[in-house]
Each structure stands twice: as C-alpha cells, then as structure tokens.
Structure 1
C-alpha cells in the first residue's frame, strides 16, 4: 500500500456508526482543524452524527445510509469515524455491495468498535483502512494532539504519528481485543495470514481479556499471522480475586499455546497517545 498526499483542500466526511457525538464536540474538532491546517482541510459532519435512537446515533438504517452516502460521495477523500461505541456491526450487510468506485479510493479512519468496519472493508479490498484517533478523543487528556496527529496524516500524509512497526514494511493491522474476539471467525473477518496483529483494550477485567484471547487465537487466520503485539490495556477493573497473570503474560500464554510469535509491545491504546496503523504493508512514497 502506497501512501499519497492529498491535494488541498482535503475534504473529510465524519459519520458515527455507533453512538452519537454532540455539536459542541464537532465544533471543537473543526476549530482545531482550522487553527492547525487553515484552508487545507474541510470537515463535513453528517447530520446523522447527532441523531439518537437508544444507544445509537440513529437507527441501523440511518447509520447505514449515512456511511454509504459519505463513502460514495466523490468530493470526500476520507471517511473519519466520529466515535467508537457499539454499533458498527449492526450496519446493513448489503451496503458493502453498494459501495462505488469513489468508495474504493477513500481512506477509512478510526478505531475501537469501528474495527468491525475496517475489517470488513479490508477483507473486500475497498479503500485504505487506518487505525487512529477520532474526534471523541478530544475528551481525553492530550486529545488535541491526538486529533492533530490524525488530521496531519489525512491532510498531508504525515507518517510521523505512525506506530513504528508499520514502517518496517510488514503488513499490519490493529484492533481492540474485545471487538476482535467477536469479529474472529465471522464473515466480516479478513485473512490476516502473514500480518502483524496489534491488540489493545480498555475497561476489561483481566479474566475477560484472557477469555477474549482464547477466541482470537483459535482463529485459523490468526494462527497463520506473523505475530501478535500488545498495545495498552487501560482502566482495567480490579476483580474480587487476583487473576494471577499480567496482561502481557496472558497474551504470551495464548500466543505460545497457538504457536504464534509474540512480538512485544505496540504503541496503541484507548488514549491520546494512540498511534496510527494503516492496514496492510506500508510503502513510503
């Protein structure tokens, strides 16, 4: 995969496949973009981002339609997911067959629950998929720098904010552990043979991480991966009794059991330091 720099202005569509964002957050994100990139970028927040239907940013059909509209629109070079939170896997399964040639030339950018969409698009070879910070990261300490990191990549092709392993040229992907445990073995999961798979999580008990790693490492594609890297596990709750192994020992255990190399730590996580990971093999322009 070769990264190319966008011509100015860079037009970016924002949609929310899971939960909604506020107009205030959208305005703050747009202000940061304007302050740092001037006329070099235009952010277009789809009205669907502010919709509400129970847990979700609008009903499944509304979120599906917004994604399809943004993906197929020729004026946008990228679709940026405004928020994580459960919901991406509920999008209409048929919409992927409706994506046009414009959708195939776009960058799709986000992380967390949006990993479902990144995985499906990567499997179908539609566009370029990138794990990286999203507008709701503004709510984290250091969030402005996280947003600037993403926009620098999207607007200028700036690779300085990428996870260092990516620059080795080996094919890489990055996922949330809990999301990937639910994704593994489904029709949405791509073949990750020969890939370095980076994993991170937030707010999960260590025993839940251990259980999730069982599902992940039982997947045949993962058993043929080049290796597993562990990002940060943040806000891990305390159980009523100690699990008896650290987060890294858990991942090492399941890697050894599956015969997959454990390759050490990755600089990704549910935090403002979360680095950018383009899916596939990165080739410097």
Structure 2
C-alpha cells in the first residue's frame, strides 16, 4: 500500500468506555509507575489495556527491538484499542520504526499520544500517512498528577475539543500570523530523520520544536542543519517550546547565546510569525497539540495564540 499521497484522515475521538492501549516502544518503564496513569484514564471513563512491554526491560529499553515492535504492532492492529498512550520516551523508536506495518492503522486510524522519542512515530505518520497524532504527556508524566492543566489538555484532546492556547509575549517573538498544518516535535529527532521516509515537508507548515539535555552548540548545529536542508525558509510559522536543561560545555568559553537566541538568529531573515515559550516539551506545562491538523499562529506584542482551526 502506498501512503505518500493519501488524504488526511482524522482518527475517531474517544467515547466513554473506549479502550486505551499503553505500550513502551522506547525506554524502560516500571510497572508500578503506570498505575497512576491507568487510574486516571479509568477515572475519565476509559478502559485500559497494558502492553507486554510495560514493566519489561532489556538494558535501557522496555524490551528487545523485536519485543517492542511486536507490542506496538499488536496495539496498532487491535480493533478494540481506540487510542495508544505511550508509556515514556527515552530512546529506541528509531530502531523499530521500519519493522512496523501501518496497513491496519491506515484503514482504522487511532490517536497516538506521546512526545520526546515518540517524535519518530509522529513524523513517520505525518510524512507517509497524513494522519493526525497527539503530541502530549505520557504515562510517565501522569504519575506526577492527573488534575494539572497539562493532564486536562489530554482529556480535552481525547474527547475531541478544539485546542487553543494563549501564551505571554516574549522579547524574541516575531509578530504576524500564519496558517498551516502543525508538525514537529523533538528537535534532535527531527534532524535525525532528514533524508529518511519520516523526513517532514515543512513548506507552508507551522513547525513546533522542543528539546532537552542538549548542549548549546548542538542546538546551534541542529538549527543550521534545518536551515541548510531548506526546512526553515518557507514555514507558515514557528512555535518554540521548552528548551529544557540545555547545557554549556564547561570546558569551553561561553557560547554567547541562549537556546532561544540561537533559534531566533537562524530565522530572523524570514517573514513568518515566531513564538517562543510555547508550553510544550520536557516541562511541567506540556500541553497537548494535534500534529497534522490545521492551526493558526497569531502573534502580537503582548501574546501569542496557537489555535486549531480544523
């Protein structure tokens, strides 16, 4: 089945009593740590099915490549599972993405919910299947609380509410507005997929980026890579989320720019709106957004608004 030119298909939103599957396609996730998320989902009115990789471990992973791929495949193919909420990120999705058969998922799409290393899956689905996915907290985050605003955005997303967020202004913001499909995720994973079948076409899109535990020079290098690959020139807008725990190499002189300043410098010549400080990524505020859906990014001097418009 050839997916590249297929039209956008929106997965069904959840109804009370629907089943959410939990699987771990990347890092190890302790079985005890999934219980708060499971309890929250059940409190919201959903049933929960745990995959075999929840609580599994093979070194840093939640299982071997074969085990993680098989568990994700089972969840994708199971018609009784209406949404997949990933357990955690870490590392490992890029090792298994080519093992996954998306035929049944394409015929019977469901929401895939996660962030960080899950960017690999988001990007493949956006690039090849054109089916929206949900960039949002995972089980590992829900164990810290299920009544905070970030968790509530997942609940709203599951039931189909339109998502819209207003963000305080930032001195580096660029005013204006733009409309387009929202794409993106973790910066380092987006760069890692350039040239692959999960490489995103960014022209006319609103790009969202975030990252964690990178050095400033790495942020600079990755932004140069995006620019040199033509990924920044023709955007409809750029939303920059958390650049969390970004590090300065203590053996070197100061880099001279913050992560936000590095990013701002790479897009200063372009005429589209740029928002800094969007509440998503490896931060306490990690609001749900639907990748692959049309959004409008509007920026004034006082605030920025990212709103889903279809």
Equivalent residue in structure 1 for 2:233, among 198, 223, 238: 223
Q: Distance in 1 between matches of 2:132 and 2:138?
A: 16
* 1:176 and 2:181 matched: no
Partner of 1:124: 128
Q: Which has the larger share of helix?
A: 1
Q: Distance in 2 between matches of 1:3 and 1:187?
A: 22
- Local SS of the residue matching 1:48: coil
- Please show how residues 133-172 of structure 1 align to structure 2 within 5 Å: 133-138=137-142, 144-145=147-148, 146-154=150-158, 156-160=159-163, 162-163=164-165, 170-172=180-182
Partner of 1:67: 72
Q: Are the counterparts in 1 of residues 115 and 281 from structure 2 also a CA contact under 8 Å? A: no
- State the 1:164 CA deviation: 5.1
Residues 127 and 49 (structure 1), Cα distance of their counterparts in 2 relative to 1, 3 Å cut: farther
* 1:263 and 2:274 matched: yes
Q: Distance in 1 between matches of 2:221 and 2:309?
A: 37
Q: Are the counterparts in 1 of residues 23 and 84 from structure 2 also a CA contact under 8 Å? A: yes
Could you give the per-residue CA deviations for residues 97-130 of structure 1, whole angstroms, max 9, x where no partner exists? x531566421111110100011001112264311
Q: Distance in 2 between matches of 1:94 and 1:19?
A: 17
TM-score between both structures, scaled by the size of structure 1: 0.86
Q: Distance in 2 between matches of 1:18 and 1:75?
A: 23
Q: Which has the larger share of strand?
A: 2
Could you give the per-residue CA deviations for residues 18-63 of structure 1, whole angstroms, max 9, x where no partner exists? 012111111111122233x1xx211212021221111111111111
RMSD over aligned Cα, in angstroms?
2.6
* 1:87 and 2:92 matched: yes
Residues 148 and 46 (structure 1), Cα distance of their counterparts in 2 relative to 1, 3 Å cut: farther
- State the 1:215 CA deviation: 1.6
- State the 1:179 CA deviation: 1.5
Residues 122 and 169 (structure 1), Cα distance of their counterparts in 2 relative to 1, 3 Å cut: same
* 1:16 and 2:27 matched: no
* 1:7 and 2:15 matched: yes
Aligned pairs, how many?
A: 276
Equivalent residue in structure 1 for 2:54, among 45, 49, 70: 49
Residues 29 and 212 (structure 1), Cα distance of their counterparts in 2 relative to 1, 3 Å cut: same
- Local SS of the residue matching 1:21: coil
Q: Are the counterparts in 2 of residues 103 and 127 from structure 1 also a CA contact under 8 Å? A: no
- State the 1:256 CA deviation: 3.4
Runs of 5+ unmatched residues, structure 1: none
Q: Distance in 2 between matches of 1:144 and 1:125?
A: 33
Runs of 5+ unmatched residues, structure 2: 1-7, 168-177, 296-307
Partner of 1:276: 288
